[in-house]
Amino acid sequence: MSEAKNLVEVQHLQQYFPAGGMGKNKRYVQAVDDVSFAIRKGETLGLVGESGCGKTTTGRTLLRLYEPTDGTIIYDGKVLFDKKKKIAVDMLPYRRRMQIVFQDPYASLDPRMTIGDIVGEGIDIHKLAANDKDRHDRIIALLERVGLNSEHANRYPHEFSGGQRQRVGIARALAVNPEFIVCDEPVSALDVSIQAQVVNMFEDLQQEMGLTYLFIAHDLSVVKHISNRIGVMYLGKLVELADSFELIAHSVHPYTRSLISAIPVADPKTARASKRIVLQGDVPSPLNPPTGCRFRTRCPYADERCAAEVPQFKEVGPGHWAACHHLDKVAD
């Protein structure tokens, strides 16, 4: 472990959404189930997995945009939420310190507000500007920091491209001088060339402002580039967590291995020699997940034990965590 202290800690986080039914027959979508991790100050933790595995829900629940069903959230040593102890602090003072960049740059900006008002909304709520001139100067400085200019402040979102809108979303998150930002698939709706610009901008801002990120994405190659550590989720569970290089080079969970085998390789010879691991079947429904290990219905190593008991998320090497009953078989 690094000597840097943990800024964010999540312990046994659970997020269930009601999905109909009454009384004993009430059903829940088990979006996030018993997820634990910590993010050290100044680092980037990447979170990857298939669509619908609970990545975005984890990020939003961490910020308490969704109220957690169970678990504990600790920020900078202060407990923000603890279901068992019935602790749920007022989040307004923490909104300044924790922000989010949303996935869809087309849906996350109010079409009736100018870019200046969108970026300035956080400044107004937290009363960060001394007067109108100070507010205006802050907004222009923020727009310039993310590669836009002062003329853009009076325009509306529909006048911008997707990449420019995402920059506005980043400027809005930076407006309150946060320490921690949840980046919720910030590049998935953008062209590949624009993706590189936005990812590089995130890295530059991290160095300038000492930011800490939870970077959520589908694309393992993007996450590998920006993250210090990577967590892999499957159907609401964290299945593996390790340093970025360690996870790519020495992954131990069969699901992680299948994701890594899907990363395109630029060299044709290497690409032909490498074998793609293709998983059988579809992702089960979070309404009715499989018993025991949730990955067992698609895992080539599954047996009776996998159906009977949930694998423990344990440390298998220094800083390398995984949840699998058959790590010895996978490692071969």
What CATH number labels 6-97+179-188+210-331? 3.40.50.300
Distance, CA of 150 to CA of 115 (rounded, Å): 10
Distances (CA, A) of 330 to 25, 175, 255, 273, 322: 39, 46, 10, 20, 12
Q: Give 131-173 pLDDT, tens digit per residue.
A: 999 999 999 999 999 999 999 999 999 999 999 999 999 999 9
Least-confidence region, from 12-26, 34-48, 112-126, 271-285: 271-285
Least-confidence region, from 8-17, 187-196, 313-322: 187-196
pLDDT at 96: 94
pLDDT at 1 over 60: no
pLDDT at 3: 57
Q: Give 46-60 pLDDT, tens digit per residue.
A: 999 988 899 999 999
Crossing angle of helices 162-174 and 132-145, in 10° steps, is: 130
Average pLDDT over residues 169-194: 92
pLDDT at 302 over 80: yes
- What are 252's two structure tokens? 């131990």
- What are 246's two structure tokens? 């360690």
